[in-house]
Amino acid sequence: MGGQRTLSVLLLLMMGVVTTALPATTGDITTIVDMTSTVGPSSATVCGTPPLNNKIVGGENAPAGSWPWQASLQMSDGHVCGGSLINKVWVMSAAHCFASSDPNGWNISLGRQTLEGINSNEVSRTVAEIIIHPDYNNFTKDNDIALLKLSSPVDFTNYILPVCLAASDSVFNNGTDSWVTGWGNINEGVPIPSPQDLQEVEVSVVGNRQCDCLNGAGSITDNMLCAGDLAGGKDSCQGDSGGPMVIQQNSVWVQSGVVSWGHGCARPNLPGVYTRVSSYQTWIDSHIKTDKPGFVQFISSGVDADSDYICSDGPTTTVDPYPYPYPYPYPYPYPYPYPYPYESIFDHGHSLFSSVYLLSTLFILMFLTI
C-alpha cells in the first residue's frame, strides 16, 4: 500500500466497457485516477472496486480499507446511523434515521475505521441537504431510504470510494451471498467494544415470500430485501441502520440493500429486512444530476427457490405484534416515533384509559334507560 507501490485496477463499466486505471500516489494514500478523464475519476468508473478489500452480530473486525464507501452519520459527535458513499457528494442511508429533513447538526465521516481514537484516513463533511423518500412509511418502513448531500465533494482514495448500486432490473435469488457492515451493537443490547472497529458479517438473501412468512404476513413489500442466517447468530443490529448490504459480482461490489428493520438481532428464523436499492434507481437519478452513481445489473443464476415458497413449507415464528423496528439509531433522534404496525381500537395503546372510560359511561347510560 506504500507510496512506491503501483496498482493496476480493472474497472468494470456499465454497458460492458472496461478501462484500466493507474494510481497516482501521495504518501501512503493511493488516489485512483481515471486515465480517460481530464477532470479526475467519475463515480461510475471507480465504484465498487476497493483495492484493499481482502468481509455485525456474528461478525468480525473489517480490515482497514475493505469497505471504503462506509459512512458514519453523526450528531453531536456521536454515531447515529450508517450510510454509503455513492458519488463525490452524495451519501445514501435509511429514512428512519431522521426525525426531519433539517441537515443542521449532522456530520458524515468517511474513511473511518474506528469510532474511537485517531483515524488518519478519515474525512468529515457537514450535510447540506437531506432528501427523505416522499413515500416513506414510518409504520411499515416501506421506502426506507434517504439521500444526503455533502457540504463539499470528497477526493477518492484507497479508503474513500463509492459503491456501485443495484440497477432496477437486478435479481437476488434466495441464498445469494452478501456482506453487511457497520458500527452497531454486536448483540441485542451489547454495544461494540472499544475501540469500536468497523464490523463485517456474511449473510445470505432470504426470499421475500419466506421472509414474509417468518416476519409476519404482509410485513414485507416489493421494496424490501431480506437477509440473515436462519439458524441465528448473524445479523445487523442497533446502530447499523442506513448502512450497506453489498454483493460481489465478478470484481465489483454492488449495494443491494440498506439496513432497515427487523425483530431483535440475529434471532433464529427472523432475518433482517433491508431497503431494496434496485427499486430506487429512477428516484436516485432524479435527484443526482451530475457525476451519476454507477448502477450495475445483478442477476442471480439458477432458479429461485423462493418463487414457490408457501408459509407451510418451513418453520413459523412468534413475533411481538408491537415491535420497535431495529436497527433503531443510537442516540435516538428526538422525538422518536414508536411505530405500531397494527391498527387498534385503543389508538395504538396511547388512549387506553380514555377508551375504557368511554365504554363504561355508555354501559351506565344504557343501564339507566332500562
Catalytically annotated residues: 96, 144, 241
Total count of residues recorded for the chain? 370
Q: How far apart are CA 115 and CA 228, in angstroms?
A: 25
DSSP assigned state of 183: S
HSE (side-chain half, CA atoms, 13 Å) at 305:
9
List Cα–Cα distances, 74 to 245, 347, 368, in angstroms.
Answer: 20, 34, 61
Q: How far apart are CA 250 and CA 257, in angstroms?
A: 18
Q: How far apart are CA 202 and CA 214, in angstroms?
A: 20
Give the N- to C-terminal CA distance of the chain in Å, as an integer: 89
Q: How far apart are CA 260 and CA 81, in angstroms?
A: 11
Q: Where are the beta strands (DSSP E) in the chain?
A: 9-12, 18-26, 29-33, 60-61, 70-75, 78-85, 90-93, 106-110, 123-132, 146-150, 164-166, 177-182, 199-206, 224-228, 244-249, 252-261, 272-276, 295-296
353: three-class secondary structure by DSSP: helix
Angle at the Cα of 112 from the Cα atoms of 43 and 77, rounded to 5 degrees: 115
H-only helix segments in the chain: 43-46, 208-215, 281-287, 352-369
Which grid coordinates belong to 28? 501512503
Q: How far apart are CA 94 and CA 276, in angstroms?
A: 11
Q: How far apart are CA 298 and CA 64, in angstroms?
A: 26
